[in-house]
Amino acid sequence: MSTYLITGAAGFVGSALARTLVESGERVRGIDNFVTGNRENLDGLLGRMDFRQADLRDPDATALACEGIDCIFHQAALPSVPRSVLAPEPSHRSNVDGTFNLLEAARAAGVQRIIYAASSSAYGNQPGLPRTESMRPQPVSPYAVQKLTGEYYMSSYWQIYGLETISLRYFNIFGPHQAPNSPYSGVVAKFIRQMLTGVRPTIFGDGRQARDFTYIDNAVSANLLACHAPAEQVAGRVFNIACGAAHNLEDVYRALAHLTGFEGPPLYGPPRNGDVVNSLADITAAKAAFGYQPTVGFEDGLKRTVQWHREEVALAAAGDTASRR
Ligand code: UD1
């Protein structure tokens, strides 16, 4: 039986992977430093997995976390394009140094495979949609450079050391458990929570920027498929993980307003520095190499996500009522 390590296990994607693996009876270790991870994401999991608070910037803690591990899902990162624009150094330390420390620890511990959460931001604003993995990366923001650096390290460790590394370029993953309350939150989570609590969302730019929004279950299944694919088909390679359909922010706003019952137009603000304008994936490579197939589409994903946020808002309101009694 394999033992899996999930970095960023209390984060949005990491905790979804942890839940799926734990519920299938797998042996899971998780680490998180709780900088952006959330303890509530581990509800129901803590007694069923080996969870350790640890930071990838600490090489000793990282080495301990890798002992006895067969496969790593490397989800830990300090996310967000605007965060990296405002302060590139902390995200560099987490995303580049942290990834490097993990690769070194994995190599020393004899880990077989690492699946790395790469980012669609690597493509930047070059012409040509959909994005295919053969395009030359043209990262714009520090975050995009950091995530791409991780990909290059992954590929190097396969070629030089034979560590089976796979980079999955996520295209704007959304779904339950994605944090909604930070200025750096993903737009879907942020807009839903704002709409459900009567706050008018702001669109940065003209709202025509488009994203290949991808529901969390698709990202989880991509990781599991990549984990079990034969090395000769996946090792050292990069794959787009998306749905293969783009939706602009105006459309997202309209769809969410309809689902949440929010009335009124958005506010508009200046475009974000470092923002990518259009993003749409070609997902042929992941389909061919490991049978990836998006199973939950955009509209269905939005419905499920709105439902989860409704429950969270209701729980918070009930908690408030209880505390006032
Ligand atoms: C980027 C990456 C994504 C990665 C994420 C990590 C691209 C194409 N995608 O997402 O793969 O997972 O970083 O953080 O580079 N917006 C508003 N109002 C808001 C918040 C956001 O209009 O209140 C806009 C942004 O300006 C952007 C779009 O919504 O145009 C999406 O933003 P966001 O959800 O933060 O993700 P990206 O930066 O696109």
Query: Residue 146 domain-assigned?
Result: yes
Query: Residue 302 domain-assigned?
Result: no
**One pLDDT digit (tens) per residue for the chain, 325 residues:** 899 999 999 999 999 999 999 999 999 999 999 999 999 999 999 999 999 999 999 999 999 999 999 999 999 999 999 999 999 999 999 999 999 999 999 999 999 999 999 999 999 999 999 999 999 999 999 999 999 999 999 999 999 999 999 999 999 999 999 999 999 999 999 999 999 999 999 999 999 999 999 999 999 999 999 999 999 999 999 999 999 999 999 999 999 999 999 999 999 999 999 999 999 999 999 999 999 999 999 999 999 999 999 999 999 999 877 766 6
Cα distances (angstroms) measured from residue 206 to each of 37, 202, 266, 268: 31, 11, 11, 7
| Model pLDDT, residue 324 | 66
**Cα–Cα distance, 261 to 245 (Å, whole number):** 25
Give distance in angstroms: CA of 196 to centre of ligand 1.
20
Specify burial of residue 34 (Cβ count, 10 A radius: 0-12, 13-18, 19+): exposed
Indicate the top mutation candidate among 75, 172, 272 to test ligand 1's pocket, ranked by most ligand atoms within 8 A of CB: 172
Structure tokens at 261: 């019952």
Query: Residue 323 domain-assigned?
Result: no
Give distance in angstroms: CA of 263 to centre of ligand 1.
23
Per DSSP, 123 falls in state: G
**CA-187 nearest atom, ligand 1:** 34
Contact 213, 247 (CB under 8 A): yes
Contacts of 160 (CB under 8 A, 6+ apart): none
**Cα–Cα distance, 7 to 54 (Å, whole number):** 9
Query: Residue 255 domain-assigned?
Result: no
Closest residue by Cα to atom 8, ligand 1, is 121
User: Which residues belong to the active site?
Assistant: 143
Query: Residue 98 domain-assigned?
Result: yes
Give distance in angstroms: CA of 187 to centre of ligand 1.
6
Closest residue by Cα to atom 25, ligand 1, is 204
| Model pLDDT, residue 306 | 98
Q: Which run of H or of E encompasses 302?
A: helix 298-324
Q: How many structural domains comprise the chain?
A: 1
What's 233's domain CATH number? 3.40.50.720
Cα distances (angstroms) measured from residue 104 to each of 72, 157, 163, 177, 323: 13, 9, 10, 30, 48
Query: Residue 188 domain-assigned?
Result: no
| Model pLDDT, residue 207 | 98
3-class SS of residue 178: coil
3-class SS of residue 279: coil
| Model pLDDT, residue 325 | 62
Give distance in angstroms: CA of 204 to centre of ligand 1.
10
Ligand 1 pocket (Cβ < 6 Å) reads 79-81, 119-121, 170-172, 186-187, 190, 201-204, 209, 211, 249, 272, 275-276, 279
Specify burial of residue 24 (Cβ count, 10 A radius: 0-12, 13-18, 19+): exposed
Domain carrying residue 92 = 3-172+216-243+281-296
Query: Residue 321 domain-assigned?
Result: no
Query: Residue 178 domain-assigned?
Result: no
**CA-119 nearest atom, ligand 1:** 11
| Model pLDDT, residue 320 | 76
| Model pLDDT, residue 116 | 99
